[in-house]
Amino acid sequence: MISPETTLYVYEIRGDSFDDFRAPPASFIGIWNEDDFFYVFFTHPEDDYVQGILNYDTSRISSRHEVQYSDWQTGLPAGGLRIDNLQFVPDDHPAPPLGSILLDPSVVFGDGSHPTTIRCLSFLIETLDKYSATSLLDLGTGTGILALAGARLGLTKILAIDKNLLAASVAKHNVQRNNLDTIVKVREGEARLFIDRKYDIVIANLPFEVLREILVLKGASLHRFWIVSGISKDQGNTLKQLLQEQGYKIGSEHLDHPWTTFLAMHQINS
């Protein structure tokens, strides 16, 4: 776990290659990849190391940011966090309560404090209370928090996807810390490449543009339930129409301004 007082040193580097990263120092946290840049996180300044792996081509270093971890994200409180009937505690908790989920958010989205995470989990619990299901596809898994919750709720086959290298690494760590490797598999890659595998439930807490691209694909109609979040109300209306065109009916919906979350049920399979 990263202490709230820790200063993060974030190097913004042009390009999309990670092949040259070797023998990282102990302060290394991970690599956050974007389309044309990647961001390397450390807990101490590592100018010499970064310049070395770039063969001293300092023109590729766009900037170096220093930020307090507590300003980067909320993080789990020392005593843990309860969402519905699930308890999440820091992975270095000295005496985790029985049945709790160990979580290390690192610098990745998914510490349980965001309303879209909370609402997705509530909708997942609601769905499992009403319908039988065994499998889950978690698109944009972040820390793996929803995938871990699904395993604790009794799902037995879970695939957690994130295109971000650091998120996939953190999610794998959290799965291993909870000894859930046989249930939860984590893969790094774009969400659209995985929706042609049939699952009972898909959770997609993703940007609107990504969701719109996914929901027009043929594979989107394979699944019984979609839990969609991370979008505005107007964007949600557009996505609901796309799902209805794929044979779904819209169930529960909740607005946590400015975010909306809704459930879609396949009219044939639900």
Q: What is the pLDDT of residue 178?
A: 97
Distances (CA, A) of 84 to 12, 205, 266: 38, 18, 26
Average pLDDT, the chain: 93
Q: Has domain 7-72 been given CATH number 3.30.70?
A: yes
The predicted pLDDT at position 33 comes to: 84
Can you tell me the distance from the alpha carbon of 126 to that of 103, in angstroms, rounded to the nearest whole number? 23
Task: With residue 209 as reference, give the H or E element that holds it.
Answer: helix 208-215
Q: Residue 41: is its pLDDT beyond 80? A: yes
Mean pLDDT of 205-229: 96
Residue 250: count of CB within 10 angstroms of its CB: 18
pLDDT for 19 equals 56
SS3 224: coil
Q: Report the CATH number of the 81-266 domain.
A: 3.40.50.150
pLDDT at 16: 67
For residue 20, what pLDDT is reported? 63
Q: Is 205 left (phi over 0), alpha (psi -120 to 50) or beta?
A: beta
What per-residue string of b and e applies to 196-207 under the rule 16 or more CB within 10 Å gives b? Answer: eeebbbbbbbbe
Kindly report, residue by residue over 113-138, the tens digit of the pLDDT: 999 999 999 999 999 999 999 999 99
pLDDT (mean) for 37-66: 91
The per-residue pLDDT for 18 is 58
Task: Flag whether the pTM goes above 0.75.
Answer: yes
What per-residue confidence (pLDDT) applies to 79?
84
3-state secondary structure of 14: strand
- Listed in order, the ranges of the chain carrying CATH 3.30.70 are 7-72
CA dist 270 and 199 (Å) reads 12
* CATH 3.40.50.150 domain extents, the chain: 81-266
Task: Return the ∠ at Cα 169 (arms to 92 and 152), rounded to 5°.
Answer: 60
**Model confidence at 201: pLDDT above 90:** yes
| pLDDT for the residue numbered 162 | 96
What is the reported pLDDT for 174?
A: 97
